[in-house]
Each structure stands twice: as structure tokens, then as C-alpha cells.
Structure 1
Amino acid sequence: MSYESILFELKDGIARITLNRPEKLNSFTAAMHGELSDAVGRVESEGARVLVITGNGRGFCAGQDLSERQMSAGAAPVDLGSTIEKYYAPMVRRLRALPLPVVVGINGVAAGAGANLALAGDIVIACESASFIQPFCRLGLLPDTGGTYVLPRLVGQARAAGLALLGDKLSARKAEQWGLIWECVTDDQLSARLDELAQHFAAAPTKGLAYTKRALNQSLANTLDQQLDLERDLMRELGATADYAEGVSAFLGKRQPVFKGK
């Protein structure tokens, strides 16, 4: 399908999705959700080894485009639960389950569902002028798109409650200090840093990274015994891969490994 709300590129194992409604701070519409879903499907099926998600213009994503939520007098209320079930929840699940690293670059405001979708990535990099906002409380809502799940796990209950109940803006630098994101860089470094990470992951042992991602995700609900058993099972599979054999050979031969992602 052709895209109007996003840009998509897949080259040399690097997939790039750019949210592309800059005049609306890349806020989500139903059409944009459809395009994003199609692009992630291509990431899943066309041999990508890393996905980089960014936003075009002066913001990453302002969340839901509320112009699609306006109600006329006497109209039935909008079913927000249906919207989550149809669009936001499936996308979070797909990003978390992608068998490759998802790198997110935050170039400006990341608000609401836009912030929480970004936090579904594995490595989140923000420039110094970027910020994160959970504005749901100002609308009589709660942080969706996984917000109530991920925030306490990343920054703790007290900070999560403050972000969710007050809706205050959190700077990128403080987000880094709190552990909400991996790294904050200067504005002029963001593009180069994302390229550096994309090149790194495109040459990395993709299956090993995918299993690492899977194990980390499952650890949130597992007991120690369950996690140890999972590590055993996944390591057993990884020990039979070509990338593991290449890694050992390169280490013993004192050379750089050439991983194929298999």
C-alpha cells in the first residue's frame, strides 16, 4: 500500500519508519494506524534486522488526533476501549514481540499515546529539547498504550503516579536520569546517534538479540525458577545457531565476527 501519514524505508537490514504528519505533531489517525500496521508487517516479513522509529518535524508524536474524537450534540459517546483494542494495544504487542531491536528517536514532544508507544521500543534515544507528557488526566482518562504498565516498571510507583496524575512535562534529560529512556543527546547528535545504533544492530547477531528481548519481557512476570528455565531453553537453541559458531570462531581467531542474523 502507499503511505501518506508515514515514511518507510528498508535497506541493508535497516528498516526506518518516520511518522509524517508534522503539521499535526504526528498525532494518530485511523489512517495512520493502518499505514503503521502495514509497515510493521513489512518489517516482520522482509528481512529487517533493526527497526528505527522517528517523527518528522518539531515533535515525535502528540498522541491521538482529537479532531477524530469530536462528538456532535446527541451523538453516542466514542468507544475509546474499541480504539485501544483495534489500534494501540496491537501495535504495542507487535513492537514488543518483534524479533529484532526497535530503536526510537524522540526529536520533540512525545505525548500521550505517542509517549507510550515510544516506550514500547527497546532503545529510546531523545534529544535535549525533547519532552514526555502523560496528559490523559487533563481529559478525564488514564495513560493507555501500555502507559500504566511500563511507567511503574521503568521509573517506580511514586514517579509513575506523579507523571500520570499531574500530567507534568518531563524533560529528556530527567527522563534519562530516571531511567525512562536509554540516552539523551544534544539536538545535533540525534540523527547521527540513531544511524550509529542502526548500523550496529544491522550487523549484530539478530536471533540472539531477539531471544534476549524475549527473555527480558518474560522476566517481568516470571519467578526466578521460571526465568532460569527459560534461559536454559533459549540458550540451548542459540547454541545451535550459525551466529554463535561465528562468534566463537571470531573470538578465538581474534577477528571481527560477521553475523548473518541466524
Structure 2
Amino acid sequence: MPDAGTAAAATTAPVLYAVADGIARIRLNRPEAANGMNVELLRALHEAILAAHADPGVRVVVLSGEGRNFCAGGDVKTFAAKGEALPDYLREATAWLQLATAALIALKAPVITKIHGFAAGGGGFGLTCASDIVVAAESAKLFSGAVRVGMAPDGGTTVTLTQLVGLRRAMDILLTNPTLSATQAKELGIVSRVVPDAELDAAVDDLADELAAAAPRALSETKRLVWDGVGATVAAQLPDEARTVSELSGTADSREGLAAVIERRAPRFTGR
């Protein structure tokens, strides 16, 4: 059992990380700042994502935020306090955001992002667009926010958002900075599912359990193929799809899945 000092350090860490039953939970933990992103949080986020990547027992990752918001974007108070040193600070901050975003997309395990309150900026909105499945509370609000403070979108948003909604809608969203309701974000394809606020935790837990029980290599390869397909032609992607299907067909999980269909029972996947 950790001592009081260890427990206090864990609860004040900018990112919390825990794994149970094949589900890694990464929680942004600066609720007093609406989980605003500074260098320390971004560095810790990258470390948490790498920890999930390195753990072969992780089958799904749930990304969420503590407090009233998922993430309100960059920590504007910290940014403003930097004064003329802000460009140097942001070079470091955006470098960590780049690493975290790339690592999130490269994770073998599918990523479920849970949105409540605000999801804004390269942190909140960008990570949302870089996730695999997004579940939002009905009251959630999403916006880009960059142009409002005289900056440009980051966190890969200029690519991921365009893939999700198309060039014209992406340009409109990024230039005019509308605040989108969860329902509007779902209609645009930014959010996967919208649920009543009181059901958000249960909906995400059920989905995480469902994915954790699925064939992990099948999920991983499907995720990889979809992300690798961004910007690719169908002709370029077809050989990779065929090769992947052939390789997966030789796994124990594939044989188990086929047997379960024939025997009309639930499959028991082991990851082999």
C-alpha cells in the first residue's frame, strides 16, 4: 500500500494512468485549469501513451479528463505569462503534442476518448480528432479555438479534421471557430456516439469491455490499415489489406472466431 506522500503525488500528477482487465485508462489531471495543456502535462501524456504501447496486456485505451471538462486546450494563463518567451515555450509544448498525437494514432490498441464539458484547441479538439472512437455527453461542447487567440490549429487537426468532415467543412470550422454541440459534432462525423450525461461513464465502460473482449490483433491491424489509408489510394491500400487478412487467418484467434460462428457461441479470444 503506497504511503500518503506517494498517494498525494499520484493524485497531483498532470496525467493519471492505470490498467485493469486489459483496459488502460489515461486521465488528464489538471481540473483546476480545465485540463489546459502545458509542457508538463503533454510530456506526461506522451509517457502514458508509451506505457500503454509497451504493455502487451493492454487491449483498449480510454482517454478522459478529470473535473468538469475533457480539455479546454492550451493553458492560456501559462502562455500569457511567458510574454516574449512564449515562442520558445510553445516550440517545446507543440513538440510534445506532436509526439503524443503521433503515439496515440500509432497505438496498437484502439483509443476511446470520453468527452464531457469542453474539448477545445490542439489538446482537446485535436486529440478528439486523433482518436479511434469518441463518445460524448449530450452537454459537451467542441471547438478549435486557435484563431481566437491569434494562433493556428495544431495536434494534427488540419489533417484529421479534414479527413473526418471534408475540406470545406474543416476550413469553415477552423477559420470561423464555431462552438459545436455534441449532436452537431456527431452529425459532422467528429464524434462517434452521443449519450445522456448520466450514462457517459457506463457507455464508455461497456464499449471498452466489448473491445477488450475482441481479438486484439484484428483490432490493431484494422486500426493501422485505416490510419495508414489516410491520403492513400484504394489501389495502394489493397495489397496491404490482402496481406494482413492472410496473416491474421493463420492466428489462433481467427480459428477461434470461425469456430464460434459455426458453433453459434461467443468467441474466446486470447491474442494469439
Q: TM-score range by the shorter chain?
A: over 0.9
Displacement of 1:77: 4.9
SS at match of 1:135: coil
Question: What is the distance in 2 between the residues matched to 1:239 and 1:176?
Answer: 34
**1:88-167 alignment runs, 5 A limit:** 88-113=97-122, 114-167=124-177
Deviations 1:38-88 (A, max 9, x none): 221221122200000111111100111123323566x4551334432x211
Q: TM-score, normalised by structure 2?
A: 0.91
Question: What is the distance in 2 between the residues matched to 1:69 and 1:61?
Answer: 16
**1:3-152 alignment runs, 5 A limit:** 3=10, 4-46=13-55, 47-70=57-80, 75-79=84-88, 80-84=90-94, 86-113=95-122, 114-152=124-162
Contact 1:7 1:20 in 2 (8 A): yes
| Pairwise CA RMSD | 1.6
Displacement of 1:155: 1.2
Question: What is the distance in 2 between the residues matched to 1:56 and 1:76?
Answer: 29
1:193 to 199, 203, 219: 203
Partner of 1:213 in structure 2?
A: 223
Structure ranking higher in helix proportion: 2
SS at match of 2:62: strand
Partner of 1:222 in structure 2?
A: 232
List runs of 5+ in structure 2 lacking aligned partners. Answer: 1-5
Contact 1:64 1:112 in 2 (8 A): yes
User: Structure 1 residues 163, 252: closer, same or farther in 2, change over 3 A?
Assistant: same
The number of aligned residues is: 260
Contact 2:129 2:160 in 1 (8 A): yes
Question: What is the distance in 2 between the residues matched to 1:260 and 1:102?
Answer: 20
Does residue 247 of structure 2 align to residue 254 of structure 1?
no
Provide the identity percentage: 38
Question: What is the distance in 2 between the residues matched to 1:77 and 1:62?
Answer: 19
List runs of 5+ in structure 1 lacking aligned partners. Answer: none
Displacement of 1:99: 0.6
SS at match of 2:250: coil
Partner of 2:3 in structure 1?
A: none
Question: What is the distance in 2 between the residues matched to 1:223 and 1:167?
Answer: 31
Question: What is the distance in 1 between the residues matched to 2:79 and 2:64?
Answer: 25
Displacement of 1:17: 1.0
Q: TM-score, normalised by structure 1?
A: 0.94
Displacement of 1:147: 0.9
Contact 1:63 1:115 in 2 (8 A): yes
Partner of 2:253 in structure 1?
A: 243
Contact 1:69 1:78 in 2 (8 A): no
Contact 1:49 1:261 in 2 (8 A): no
Q: Which amino acid aligns with 1:87?
A: W
Contact 1:109 1:131 in 2 (8 A): yes
Q: Which amino acid aligns with 2:66?
A: N
Displacement of 1:122: 0.2
Question: What is the distance in 1 between the residues matched to 2:47 and 2:163?
Answer: 30
